[in-house]
Chain A
Amino acid sequence: QSALTQPRSVSGSPGQSVTISCTGTSSDLGHYNSVSWYQQHPGKAPKLIIYAITERPSGVPDRFSGSKSGSAASLTISGLQADDEADYYCCAFAGIFTRVFGTGTKVTVL
């Protein structure tokens, strides 16, 4: 159950787009067709922003989008805003009954 691999940090200017990758193996992301994404501001609990690869919960703006191909998934934030500055985590199946989070990515708005 090794953590999924994410870049340590990404950055962008307001209005730009950034993409965060989440890389696994043929045993986790490559085998199961589901991934979710979370946003976590400092000192706060995580917030679900993408589930089932591409779906957004009610209230999450469509600036957030997800995709998956093979053993890798991606989260794209379009029209970057100051409040998007946070840590982001992917989460996927590690096996049929267990789950695993990514290593986390810090998004900085320049």
Chain B
Amino acid sequence: EVQLVESGGGLIHPGGSLRLSCSASGFNVSSKFMSWVRQAPGKGLEWVSVIHISGDRFYADAVKGRFTISRDNSVNTLYLQMSSLRVEDTALYYCARAYTQNYDDFDIWGPGTMVTVSS
């Protein structure tokens, strides 16, 4: 079965760091465009980052310079390293698989992992 499962969320103080993981099964993360998308409580979806099949990485302006997306093909896992966290980074973080190279079309989503940034 094709699925994604995120982990690593939790409560963190402003300025802290956290690494999210997204374990994939049923396909190889290296063969797809993979993204992180977040949703603040009661708010809409926000695209965060993508890692291309080539390994190229791109970020939303809101997280550029603070977040780093990566993958480990040996364990078929996607990561999001978050640093200098802010209260406004509080959200449910989803990892998502893109259906095509356009990567605006995410066909597989994980259940999400909650990140709460608070003092």
Residues of chain A at the chain B interface (Cβ within 8 Å): 1, 3, 34-36, 38, 40, 45-48, 51-52, 57, 87, 89, 91-94, 97-104
Q: Does B53 sit at the interface, judged by CB under 8 A?
A: no
Nearest-neighbor residue (CB-CB) of B57 within chain A: A97
Residues of chain B at the chain A interface (Cβ within 8 Å): 35, 37, 44-47, 50, 56, 58-62, 94, 99-100, 102-107, 109-112
Residues of A within 8 A of B62 (CB): 1
Within the complex, what minimum Cβ distance (angstroms) separates A94 from chain B? 8
Given contacts A3-B46, A46-B109, A48-B105, 8 further A-B contacts (CB under 8 A): A34-B105, A46-B106, A48-B107, A51-B100, A87-B44, A98-B60, A99-B103, A99-B104
| Contact flag A98-B58 (CB < 8 Å), given A46-B45, A48-B105 | yes
Pick from A40, A51, A94: contact of B105, CB under 8 Å: A51
Q: Please state if B112 and A93 are interface contacts (CB–CB under 8 Å).
A: no
Supply 12 A–B pairs (Cβ within 8 Å), ascending by A.
A34-B102, A46-B94, A48-B106, A51-B104, A89-B45, A91-B105, A93-B102, A94-B47, A98-B50, A101-B46, A104-B44, A104-B45
Nearest-neighbor residue (CB-CB) of A97 within chain B: B58
Within the complex, what minimum Cβ distance (angstroms) separates A53 from chain B? 10
Tell me, in angstroms, the Cα distance from A3 to B66 when the chains sit together: 21
Q: Please state if A91 and B47 are interface contacts (CB–CB under 8 Å).
A: yes
Query: Which secondary structure dominates where chain A touches chain B?
Result: strand
Residues of A within 8 A of B102 (CB): 34, 36, 51-52, 93
Within the complex, what minimum Cβ distance (angstroms) separates A28 from chain B? 10
Tell me, in angstroms, the Cα distance from A57 to B107 when the chains sit together: 8
Q: Please state if A45 and B94 are interface contacts (CB–CB under 8 Å).
A: yes
